């Protein structure tokens, strides 16, 4: 990807990990999570709202996050998500696996023919 290219979709399978990471810092609503991912990636990743909703449902069914309706700072109602103990453990496993995979790809890219 070259500089100045438009934002890209998240790599398959990373959205759940990034949601868990965001929620490990503090409870948030969906828009806050999407904004955190976009800001932290410096605009490289933009989260599709439909993908986010599907991920929330999958993570909640799996017991990795909980949710509750609350007031936002600007007095709107929104569903806030929190990471569970199982979610933190899953984040730890997924982060270790991701780090291992990234290192392997880096080694492959450095390999000389």
pLDDT tens by residue, 15-52: 999 999 999 999 999 999 999 999 999 999 889 999 99
Q: Is residue 67 part of a domain?
A: yes
- Structural domain span for residue 82: 15-110
Q: Is residue 27 part of a domain?
A: yes
CATH of the domain at 95: 1.10.10.10
Domain tally, the chain: 1
d(CA 74, CA 95): 33
d(CA 19, CA 95): 12
Q: Is residue 4 part of a domain?
A: no
| Mean pLDDT, the chain, whole residue set | 90
Q: Is residue 8 part of a domain?
A: no
């Amino acid at each position: 990807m070259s500089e100045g290219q438009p934002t890209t979709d998240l790599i398959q399978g990373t959205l759940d990990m990034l949601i868990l990471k965001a929620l490990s810092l503090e409870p948030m609503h969906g828009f806050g999570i999407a904004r955190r991912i976009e800001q932290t990636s410096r605009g490289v990743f933009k989260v599709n709202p439909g993908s986010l909703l599907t991920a929330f449902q999958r993570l909640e069914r799996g017991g990795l996050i909980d949710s509750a309706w609350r007031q936002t700072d600007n007095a709107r109602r929104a569903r806030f998500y929190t990471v569970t103990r199982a979610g933190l453990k899953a984040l730890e496993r997924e982060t270790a696996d991701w780090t291992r995979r990234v290192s392997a790809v880096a080694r492959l890219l450095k390999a000389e023919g």
